Amino acid sequence: MQILNRFYKVNTRGLNKINPEIDYLKNEEIKKRKKQFENFRLLLEQNKSLKKPKRLSYGQIASMAGISRATYYRIKEKVEKKGLTYWQTLEKQSTRPKKVKYH
């Protein structure tokens, strides 16, 4: 609450409503990670629009979003390479063989 009162221009109300299309992901951990990534991205964008003395530090943004700055940039790089399929590739793939060799 203290952060929200101090940085009143940062819009955090809509953070939980970001990306309703994540329903295609089955794993709850991956959904959570994607939401954290989007929250971090949104807070960074809003932070850039604030004047310097009122800006949030990366540590404050990381604590609000739930992931570190390094993790954000690591995921961002992979998302830029693979696109939206990155989140689907994180889900555990079936280990069952597609074709069985008969001898």
Q: What is the number of structural domains in the chain?
A: 1
Structural domain contains residue 79: yes
Structural domain contains residue 5: no
Structural domain contains residue 3: no
Residue 85 pLDDT > 50, yes or no?
Answer: yes
Structural domain contains residue 42: yes
The answer to whether 43 touches 10, Cβ cutoff 8 Å, is yes
pTM surpassing 0.75?
no
- Confidence bin at 86 (pLDDT 50/70/90): confident
Query: Tell me, what DSSP letter sits at residue 55?
Result: P
Structural domain contains residue 94: no
Structural domain contains residue 82: yes
Q: Which domain holds residue 59?
A: 24-89
Residue range 71-80: mean pLDDT, rounded: 91
Structural domain contains residue 47: yes
Provide the mean pLDDT of the chain.
Answer: 78
- Confidence bin at 15 (pLDDT 50/70/90): low
Residue 70 pLDDT > 90, yes or no?
Answer: yes
Structural domain contains residue 33: yes
- Confidence bin at 23 (pLDDT 50/70/90): low
Q: How far apart are CA 54 and CA 58, in angstroms?
A: 13
